[in-house]
A and B are shown apart, each in its own frame.
Chain A
Amino acid sequence: MRGTLSDRMGAALLMAPLLLFLVLAYAWPFLGVVKWSVTLPTPGLGQYGALATDALVQSVFIRTLRIALIVTMVSVAAAYAITMVWVRGSPAQRIIAEFCILVPFWISVLTRAFGWVALLSNRGLINTWLQSIGFISEPLALVRNEFGVIVGMTHFLIPFAVFPLASAMRSLDERVLLAARGLGSSRMRTFWTVFVPITRSGIIGSAMIVFVFSLGFFVTPAILGGGRSVMIAELIYLRIFQSPDWGLGAAISVVLVLFVGALMALLFRHVRPKQLI
């Protein structure tokens, strides 16, 4: 029955509007951005050459990679701890853990970044409190620097890191863990030699998602970095709106997409997409 003429017509009619919408509103303008990168200000690959030599662009690339790596390691480790309780804790522990994961997840990135400003800024909660108890005399610089960016991004990304880990921890074979314990393995040893290795696909998936997200992160670094700790996405914004160099902004975007695409291809060679949900 599959593949008759009316079936194909039906499928085409139902699927066409969205496909057409995305071709016109997404694929075509993306090609326009690629065109910017090779025509502005002059035709040629000059902007890509500039990417390879420009010291500012390179320092931003390196900072972005460094921050993304730190954020990935911290977020996955933190997510692993809370996922453990969410998936395998007692019913009451599960409800509390779920609340702590889902409430921040649903709150907008701006509100969450603002929460960190309220905590970390010079007149914020932490500095006010430390000064009132006389522990410090001058406020600590906790925000408008790389530290603030890392804290804010880690906070944003932990819930995203939780989901692939939860899926891996739910689907594992209980009997393996029972066997390890039954054979006299200690709690710690079971965790490191059995539990962590069998949730490996979840760890890889979670790390990849966090890493890819943090490469293109814009809002949190812009607010908590205060213009001093510029990451790649903010550099694109600055090149489009502040020191107009649309060609360079477009070229950085193209390189970012290629890089993320390569990472995703690598991810899917190790983990099937279904395991990530």
Chain B
Amino acid sequence: MPTYRPGPVSLILAVLVALFLLLPLLAVIPVSLTPSRMLAMPTGELSLRHYRSLIEDPRWLDAILLSIRIGIVSSVVSTVLALCFSLGVWMFQPRFTAALVGFVLLPMVVPPVVSAITLYFLLTSISGVSSFFGYDTWLGVAMAHSVMTVPFATVLILVSLSQLDRRIDLAARGLGASVWERATRIIMPNIKFGIVTAALLSFVLSWEEIGVTLFITSVNAITLPRLMWMGLRDNIDPAIAALSVILIIITVLVLAARSVVVKMRGGQ
């Protein structure tokens, strides 16, 4: 337990910061209930029409389904690539490890807009060769998202490997286990939690990716954030408020569930 506790001044400042952090998330709730067709505060009566339009307007549903599909593909691709790479690093500790890991982390540290123009170059180049895999195609978006999410998946898996006791792997090796057996039967079961977290984080990052997606899509591959962007730029569509409320509720529920799971694991 820390002996140095925050005093009254820190507490007051922290409360102000907390309000600042929560305020815009709360502000979308009244807007989502407005009966007006434009962005406005409800005056008097409330309406659920914007929630209904999320279900009834096929554009929203199409975008949600596309985002889920892209999220799953890019999450699988980046988790598998990150897992293999991290296993290689951990089991063999090759020379130049630091440089190789640094290279893999580049898409995470380079400003997103530079990654975006880079992936725009890549996908427009591919478009010259193939029409279903390139600029403004869902496979192209899934590949670009994999590039952007793979560093995060790698960091998570490397961190959970670093907490693993090397001696269990040495024991398996001494008993004659092959590389494949060591990886799949000894190491992977012990970093399950890290692998699942990496896959989930990759999915979430792809699900909400907008910076790169803006550069590589125009009319065909409209993901959910892309559709929200279009609704935010021109006439602000209050359906976005309804969608935001739903996304915020999901986030709060998932975080609450996660903290319960962490408590239970910690209690074991």
- A15–B89 CB distance below 8 A: yes
Q: Kindly state whether residue A178 has any CB partner on chain B within 8 Å.
A: yes
User: Which range holds the interface residue count of chain A?
Assistant: 35 or more
In the complex, what residues of B have CB within 8 A of residue A118's CB?
24, 27-28, 31, 39, 241
Q: Which residue of B lies closest to A89 (CB)?
A: B6
Binds B, one of A20-28, A42-50, A52-60: A20-28
Tell me the residues in window 73-88 of chain B with beta carbons closer than 8 Å to chain A beta carbons. Answer: 81-82, 84-85, 87-88
Residue of B82, B88, B210 ringed by the most chain A CB atoms within 10 A: B88
Tell me the residues in window 4-37 of chain A with beta carbons closer than 8 Å to chain B beta carbons. Answer: 6-8, 10-15, 17-19, 21-22, 25-30, 32-33, 36
The binding surface of chain B is classed by DSSP as helix
- A11–B109 CB distance below 8 A: no
Tell me the residues in window 207-258 of chain A with beta carbons closer than 8 Å to chain B beta carbons. Answer: 212, 215-216, 218-219, 222-223, 232-233, 236-237, 240-241, 249-250, 253, 256-257
In the complex, what residues of A have CB within 8 A of residue B144's CB?
25
**Alpha-carbon gap, A15 to B101, bound state (A):** 10
- A36–B121 CB distance below 8 A: yes
- B118–A104 CB distance below 8 A: no
Tell me the residues in window 78-104 of chain A with beta carbons closer than 8 Å to chain B beta carbons. Answer: 78-79, 81-82, 84-85, 87-90, 93, 96-97, 99-104
Contact of A15 among B28, B88, B207 (CB under 8 A): B88
In the complex, what residues of A have CB within 8 A of residue B30's CB?
125
Instruction: Quote the shortest CB–CB distance from B12 to chain A (angstroms).
Output: 9
- B111–A216 CB distance below 8 A: yes
Contact of B112 among A11, A78, A87, A218 (CB under 8 A): A218
In the complex, what residues of B have CB within 8 A of residue A85's CB?
6, 10-11, 14
**Alpha-carbon gap, A235 to B38, bound state (A):** 29
In the complex, what residues of B have CB within 8 A of residue A108's CB?
207-208, 210, 225, 247
- A14–B88 CB distance below 8 A: yes
In the complex, what residues of A have CB within 8 A of residue B252's CB?
103
**Alpha-carbon gap, A208 to B27, bound state (A):** 30
In the complex, what residues of A have CB within 8 A of residue B25's CB?
103-104, 107, 111-112, 115
- B97-113 to A contact mask, C-beta < 8 Å, 1/0: 00010011011011111
Contact of B118 among A21, A29, A113, A155 (CB under 8 A): A29
- A81–B104 CB distance below 8 A: no
Residue of A7, A22, A187 ringed by the most chain B CB atoms within 10 A: A22
Interface residue tally for chain B (C-beta within 8 Å): 89
Binds A, one of B45-53, B54-62, B189-197, B229-237: B229-237
Instruction: Quote the shortest CB–CB distance from B248 to chain A (angstroms).
Output: 6
Q: Kindly state whether residue B17 has any CB partner on chain A within 8 Å.
A: yes
**Alpha-carbon gap, A119 to B41, bound state (A):** 10
- A88–B5 CB distance below 8 A: yes
Contacts A15-B100, A81-B10, A124-B41; is A111 near B232 (CB within 8 Å)? Answer: no
Q: Kindly state whether residue A174 has any CB partner on chain B within 8 Å.
A: yes
**Alpha-carbon gap, A177 to B232, bound state (A):** 49
Contacts A114-B241, A216-B112, A237-B113; is A32 near B121 (CB within 8 Å)? Answer: yes
Contact of A14 among B2, B21, B84, B204 (CB under 8 A): B84
Instruction: Quote the shortest CB–CB distance from B89 to chain A (angstroms).
Output: 7
**Alpha-carbon gap, A210 to B74, bound state (A):** 27
- A84–B14 CB distance below 8 A: yes
Tell me the residues in window 117-136 of chain A with beta carbons closer than 8 Å to chain B beta carbons. Answer: 117-119, 121, 123-125, 128
Q: Kindly state whether residue B240 has any CB partner on chain A within 8 Å.
A: yes
- A87–B2 CB distance below 8 A: yes
Contact of A115 among B150, B159, B244 (CB under 8 A): B244
- B24–A2 CB distance below 8 A: no
Chain B interface residues (CB < 8 Å from chain A): 2-7, 9-11, 13-14, 16-18, 20-25, 27-28, 30-31, 38-41, 81-82, 84-85, 87-89, 91-94, 100, 103-104, 106-107, 109-122, 125, 143-144, 146-147, 150, 154, 159, 179, 204, 207-208, 210-211, 214-215, 225, 228-229, 232-233, 236, 240-241, 244, 247-248, 251-252, 254-255
